[in-house]
Structures are given as C-alpha cells and as structure tokens.
Structure 1
Amino acid sequence: MVWWVNGLVGLIIGIITGAMVMYFKIKSSQNKKNKYFNFQKNQSELKVFHKELYNHFSQNIQLLSNLEHDCQNLYRHIDKSIHDLRCYLENQSKRFNGQDEDNPINHEKISVNLPLDYPMSTSSTRVKR
C-alpha cells in the first residue's frame, strides 16, 4: 500500500509542477505576443514618421532651391540696375561738363525776351496834391 500512496503523491506533485510550468509558459507566451504586437505598432509608427520626415526635408530642399534661384535673380537685377545707373550717371556728368560728343552744348549766351507784366513806359512818378 505504500507504493500506492507514493504513486498518488508523485502524481499530485507532477500535476502541480506541470500546472506551474504551463502557467509560466502561457504567461511568457502572452508576454511575447504583447511585445511582438508593440513592436509591430512601433514599427508602423516609425514608418509613418519616416515618411513625414522625408516629405518635410523634400519640401525644405525645394524651398531652399527656390530661394537660391530668387536670390540669383535678385543679384542679377541689382547688378544690371547698378550698371545702368553707372552708365546714366556717367552720361549725365559728361553732359554737365560739356563732354558729350553726340550732343555738344553751345556755350554762347542766348538772349531770352520774357514778356513783362507791366508796361515799359511807366514811370515812378507820384501824383502831387
């Protein structure tokens, strides 16, 4: 009868040990599933963030390219304006100094007869009383 009791005690200890092992295996399996689910979720969020970041930098590159092009156009316009102004000022200074070859200025005095608002025959005599 002792062997029968020993077998029964061994069976109960085996069932308890098996239940504990199964509990920890299931718990670690669920933990792995949760970790894998979180990993997949984080990976999809990372892909979305990566796309947003890529689009952001693409837009920034395009804006900087446009800015560079606009600055180049501005500098060309300023350079052209400065050149035109310099030529204009040189021509004005030549005309002022009388050095214009195309249109020489005649430095003779020109008499101009301006109309008068009063008659020339008026005298400054006063009427005596």
Structure 2
Amino acid sequence: MIHRLLLAAAAAVSLSVPVAQAQDAAAGQRVFNQCVACHTRNEGGRNGVGPNLWGVFDRRAGAVEGFRYSANMRQLAEGGLTWNEATLRRYLANPKDVVPQGSMAFAGIRNEQQLNDLIAFIQTLK
C-alpha cells in the first residue's frame, strides 16, 4: 500500500514539474508572421515600419543602414546593446523593458514556447 502511494506521489510530482521545451525554428517561422507587418527578413530586404531583420542575431542594435531608429534605441546601441539570445528574449517578451522610449508598438510575446521558437527562427536569418 505504501509503495503504491509513493508511486502515485512521484507520478503527481513529475507531472507538475515544468519541462523545458525544445526550440522549433519551423514553428518560430509561424510566430514570425506577427512581425511581417513591420519587418522584412530577406537578405538585402527593404526596411518597413521596422528594420529588416536579416542577420539580426548577434548584431549590434541600431545597425541597419538607412533605418531611422528612435533616440532611445540609438543611445542603447551606442552603449553596446547587441541582439543575442538574452537580449532578444527580453525584448521580444516586452520591448519597453529593454527600450523604454522605443518606437516599437508591439506588446510582446507572453507564451514561452512561442518565444523559444521565434528566437530559434531568428537565428536562421543569416
């Protein structure tokens, strides 16, 4: 009887422990569909309301030629802001957390799996 209780308790605990989910770039491409209203993603692509995102991963912020960045973004870029996994994660979850006076109107991605997948997709844009 005690053995069965221990097994049931162990099963309940294992179901309640969050498991990190793998990143899926293909799923991230679907999440990126939210971004295409403002951003292009093709090599050499035009800027839209937002800058072209080709090669954004590990790139210094504010570096797309010909795009007019907010003063806050330019200031952070001069301070060394670079788009790596940690900064993209914060920015994509809540842009105002990273660039408080930035011009990006997007509220952010709250779903952790979608955020993981989107970052995986962004890493393929190179």
Short-chain TM bin: under 0.3
Which has the greater radius of gyration?
A: 1
| Greater RCO, CA 8 A, separation 6+ | 2
The TM-score normalised by the length of structure 1 is 0.24
Query: Which structure features the higher share of helix residues?
Result: 1
The TM-score normalised by the length of structure 2 is 0.25
